[in-house]
Amino acid sequence: MRIKNKPITRCNGDEKLRPKVKTLFDKGRLWIACLLVYGFFKMMYMIIMSKIWYPRAFCRAAKLMDKVVEDARQRSKLSKWQVMTRNFFNKQNLLSLATDPDQVAIFGRLSVGDLAPPGVLYTLDKEVYNFHQIFQQSPMNIFVLNFAEFITIYIAEAHTTDDWYIPDLNDGAGLCFHAPDTLDDKIRLANNFRNDFCYKLPFYVDSMQNDSMRAYSAKPERIYIVKDGRIAFKGGPGPFSYALDEIDDALRKL
């Protein structure tokens, strides 16, 4: 009796997984694409709102940005558009902008008249202070000019190599830092800044949780005037809304 050979059907688990893996891969690509679009519109929102609410500061910042881009273009021999896409509209930067809730804070949580949030701060020697304690203690902790007292709080690196990195600007200035992983790293970066720029004002470092940065919606930079424990003036965030002359006007009115 002749037995016909039946075709052997192989059940390969990997083949069963392939459609699922492909589906997950497609969903991941779609999610990244959505984040890139969101990051782009977030950047446009920052620029447009800055121009509307802080027109004087925006004009100055825009002129400075044009100069930075032109300098980078001449160094790299690229077109202006290529410099823009390389430094601002690349994948890493747009994803960073989309996923970081602190990156763009045009308006922020605080208003003039609100109580100034306390916040834990560190000196460059790792001494711990509360924000309000600084002004209540020795004048050595503050810088007094006429009738105003000044302190600077180091919050975070704005353009680290693993975050919103601007190669033509960072590399040209020799500012290539990784985001700090520990308080010691953060204090070291703060010390580097103070030494490189001969910064003489009293200098404090925010916590690793960035409590002060978030409480004051300060990233990448912002100036506040605090009087009697309350917000007396709230400046715009950098780079497009950072206006020092507004600080001068506000101090004269107090």
Q: Which of 78-87, 95-104, 108-117 has the highest mean pLDDT?
A: 108-117
Rounded-to-5 percentages of helix, strand, coil across the chain: 50, 10, 40
Q: Say if 149 falls within a structural domain.
A: yes
On whether the pTM is more than 0.75, the answer is: yes
Q: Say if 77 falls within a structural domain.
A: yes
Q: Say if 3 falls within a structural domain.
A: no
List, for residues 76-97, the tens digit of each pLDDT value.
788 888 888 888 888 888 888 8
Name the phi and psi angles at 213, rounded to 5. Answer: -60, -45
Q: Which H helix or E strand runs over 44?
A: helix 13-53
Structure tokens at 131: 């924000």
Q: Say if 157 falls within a structural domain.
A: yes
- CA angle, 97 as apex, 37 and 58 as ends, to 5°? 100
Which distant-in-sequence residues (6+ apart) come within 8 Å of 89 by Cβ?
Answer: 40, 43
> Nearest-CA neighbor of 53 among 207, 237, 230?
237
Q: Say if 203 falls within a structural domain.
A: yes
Q: Say if 1 falls within a structural domain.
A: no
Q: With pLDDT > 90 as the criterion, what percentage of the chain qualifies?
A: 16
Q: Are 151 and 204 in contact (CB under 8 A)?
A: yes
pLDDT band, very low/low/confident/very high, at 1 (cuts 50, 70, 90): very low
Bond into 239 cis (ω within 30): yes
Q: Say if 184 falls within a structural domain.
A: yes
List, for residues 137-168, the tens digit of each pLDDT value.
655 455 555 556 788 999 988 788 888 788 77
pLDDT band, very low/low/confident/very high, at 187 (cuts 50, 70, 90): very high
CATH number at residue 172: 3.40.30.10
How far apart (Å, rounded) are the C-alpha atoms in residues 54 and 222? 13
Q: Say if 199 falls within a structural domain.
A: yes
Parallel, antiparallel or unpaired: strands 143-145 and 230-234 = unpaired
Number of compact structural domains in the chain: 1
- Residue 227: domain span: 18-253
